[in-house]
Amino acid sequence: RLRAVSFLRTDVEKQVRLQVEQAWRDLDVAAKNLATARQAVDQARENHRLSELQFKEGLIPIADLLDARSLLTEAETRLLEARYGLLAAKARLDRAVGNNPVEAEQ
């Protein structure tokens, strides 16, 4: 019976260690996704700014300006999703290591 309890404890420790390692990897990926999304927003903003200037000068049609705006909106949406992904990854890591973020705030 003692051997079974010891085996179970070792198995649980291994599972917890794997969960923590996976949570760290997920957090790393989420942080990289956020950085990529920020760059995409910066590029889309610049593209939109240039498109506005070109439209004002009569160099591009309104459809091109609207496309640039649409691309900016899509990039901003992906940025929000990446921020949420990072927060979710942080929460999973907290849970994996046994932290309760609600108790920490009180």
State the distance between the two ends of the chain, measured CA to CA, in whole angstroms: 41
**The predicted structure's pLDDT at residue 87:** 98
**The predicted structure's pLDDT at residue 48:** 99
Helices (H), the chain: 2-56, 62-97, 101-105
**pLDDT, mean of each 10-residue run, the chain (106 residues):** 79 92 98 99 99 98 99 99 98 92 64
Using only the alpha carbons of the chain, give its radius of gyration: 23
> What predicted TM-score, i.e. pTM, was given to this entire model?
0.81
**The predicted structure's pLDDT at residue 2:** 75
